[in-house]
């Protein structure tokens, strides 16, 4: 028996073994007397030299346990928790048994009919692949030779089982490609095996019909596998709902929505808010098969809807009281006004109702709340329409249509935030004068030189 780079070779039976003595680790840790730290556990699982990953049924358990220890959040020099220590003891028992394992080094493929079979499988914890040479001898007997394996731990991010099965299929395909490239054995056929009908159906379909995660891996499988997967008519004819498929149509369910259609606080311009709101409502009409074209009347109507929504947000209690003819609550900001509810609008009453020259909208202004974001955008809109004029002029223009509570503070706040108004009100700063030149005296009388 000779030791070669971590592998044991027994010339008598031409087989390979594995060194699992772990000479560099403390014996009390190897014997299971003391709990290992996170650093020591990682050192143990990395001390197993297995270049072909032939021990993956055992070593993958250590990697899964290492991932579990990592998720627990302990430090590198902290000992394992009790639940992880119990799994550690079981893992050590399985590792010790590897010292008795022997795998034939030679494939013994003395035949002309050779096939390469690679299997891929996955679970919620890991996905693996294993490859075998299959040789049919002249007497009809079949000889199998273990070639290599590959194992990967499932990522920390939760992934569906079909996606993990697809990862296993891709791992098997890459393993088969590497084996054929390095072993240089002429195989009559290469077969890739997967027990997931979902993955087999993906492989038999167009990769462009799926989401990027699945599509990219299917494209690599098409390039590498060359139709090496089994053909199952049940899989090909299967028609089931697939979460990974791209949607070819949009199904819109229209329901009754009692809240605001859009979030007005995300807008900084009244014009943009009104036009966006109008486009959204036009889209909903299109969904209801109302083919009326979009025009300027839609913008005017939707501006009215925005103002109605703003009024309902601010004065819902006052509107209910006015609807039944009750008095406004004494804590309301409208307690000093004679409010009235007409055509769904909360308006100002007052003594102008008998005026013969004013229109109804001029006599009974619409009441709005100056603290509402949409109303503030409306005030800013009138401020710009007035050419960034003074406060009184903007207030007079607004009160031709609306009675806005806290109007003057709102106008002042909008004006103070206006950049153009800041530029207009800016005063030039007198620069600081520099010092007198060196040697100059401020007390020397000036001289007037005249011609002689």
Q: Per the structure block, which two tokens stand in for 421?
A: 């108004």
Q: Is 152 a residue whose pLDDT tops 90?
A: yes
What per-residue confidence (pLDDT) applies to 185?
84
The angle, 0 to 180 degrees and rounded to 10, between the axes of the packed helices 407-417 and 373-385 is 70
Which residues 6+ apart lie within 8 Å of 219 measured at CB? 207
Which residues 6+ apart lie within 8 Å of 25 measured at CB? 40, 43, 44, 47
- Averaged pLDDT, 355-379: 88
Q: Per the structure block, which two tokens stand in for 12?
A: 């008598």
Contact 180, 116 (CB under 8 A): yes
**Percentage of residues in the chain having pLDDT higher than 90:** 18
Which residues 6+ apart lie within 8 Å of 182 measured at CB? none
Please say whether the structural domain 107-236 has been given the CATH code 3.30.420: yes
- Averaged pLDDT, 254-279: 77
The domain segmentation of the chain, as residue ranges, is 2-103, 107-236, 254-314+365-426
User: CB-side exposure of 55: number of CA atoms within 13 Å?
Assistant: 28
Q: What pTM, to 2 d.p., does this model score?
A: 0.53
What per-residue confidence (pLDDT) applies to 256?
46
Dist CA 405 CA 368 (whole Å): 6
112 vs 328: which has the higher pLDDT? 328
Q: Is 287 a residue whose pLDDT tops 50?
A: yes
Residue 357: pLDDT band with limits 50, 70, 90: confident
What per-residue confidence (pLDDT) applies to 242?
61
What per-residue confidence (pLDDT) applies to 241?
43
Mean pLDDT estimate for the chain: 83
Contact 372, 265 (CB under 8 A): no
Phi, psi of 142 (to 5 degrees): -110, 130
pLDDT digits 0-9 by tens, 178-209: 998 888 788 888 899 998 899 999 988 888 88
pLDDT digits 0-9 by tens, 407-443: 999 999 988 888 888 888 888 888 888 887 777 666 6
Residue 132: pLDDT band with limits 50, 70, 90: very high
- Averaged pLDDT, 377-390: 90
SS3 assignment, position 133: strand
Residue 237: pLDDT band with limits 50, 70, 90: very low
């Amino acid at each position: 028996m000779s030791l070669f780079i971590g592998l044991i070779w027994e010339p008598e039976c031409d087989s390979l073994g594995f060194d699992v003595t772990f000479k560099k680790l403390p014996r009390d840790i190897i014997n299971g007397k003391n709990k290992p730290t996170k650093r020591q556990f990682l050192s143990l699982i990395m001390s197993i030299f297995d270049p072909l990953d032939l021990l993956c049924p055992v070593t993958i358990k250590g990697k899964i346990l290492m991932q579990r220890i990592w998720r627990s959040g302990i430090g590198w020099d902290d000992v394992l928790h009790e639940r992880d220590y119990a799994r550690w003891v079981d893992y050590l028992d399985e590792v010790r048994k590897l010292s008795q394992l022997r795998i034939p080094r030679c494939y013994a493929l003395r035949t002309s009919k050779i096939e390469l079979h690679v299997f891929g499988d996955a679970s919620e914890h890991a996905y693996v692949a294993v490859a075998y040479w299959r040789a049919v001898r002249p007497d009809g007997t079949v000889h199998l030779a273990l070639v290599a394996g590959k194992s990967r731990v499932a990522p920390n991010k939760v992934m569906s089982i079909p996606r993990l099965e697809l990862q296993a299929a891709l791992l098997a395909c890459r393993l088969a490609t590497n084996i054929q490239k390095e072993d240089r054995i002429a195989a009559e056929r290469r077969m890739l095996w997967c027990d997931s009908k979902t993955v087999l159906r993906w492989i038999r379909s167009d990769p462009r019909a799926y989401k990027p995660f699945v599509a990219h891996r299917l494209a690599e499988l098409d390039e590498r596998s060359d139709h090496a997967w089994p053909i199952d008519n049940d899989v090909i004819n299967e028609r089931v709902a697939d979460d990974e498929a791209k949607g070819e149509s949009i199904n819109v369910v229209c329901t009754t929505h009692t809240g605001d259609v859009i979030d007005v606080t995300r807008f900084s311009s009244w014009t943009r808010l009104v036009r966006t709101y109008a486009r959204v409502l036009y889209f909903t009409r299109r969904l209801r098969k109302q083919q009326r074209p979009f025009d300027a009347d839609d913008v005017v109507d939707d501006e009215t809807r925005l103002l109605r929504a703003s009024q309902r947000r601010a004065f819902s209690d006052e509107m209910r009281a006015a609807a039944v003819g009750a008095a406004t609550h004494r804590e309301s900001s409208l307690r000093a006004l004679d409010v009235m509810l007409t055509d769904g609008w909360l308006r100002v009453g007052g003594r102008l109702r008998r005026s013969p020259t004013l229109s109804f909208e001029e006599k009974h202004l619409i009441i709005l709340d100056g603290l509402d974001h949409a109303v503030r955008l409306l005030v800013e809109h009138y401020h710009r329409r007035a050419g960034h004029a003074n406060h009184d002029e903007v207030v007079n223009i607004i009160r031709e249509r609306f009675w806005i509570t806290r109007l003057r503070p709102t106008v002042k706040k909008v004006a103070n935030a206006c950049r153009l108004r800041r530029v207009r009100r800016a005063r030039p700063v007198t620069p600081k004068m520099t010092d007198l030149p060196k040697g100059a005296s401020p007390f020397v009388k000036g001289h007037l030189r005249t011609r002689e």
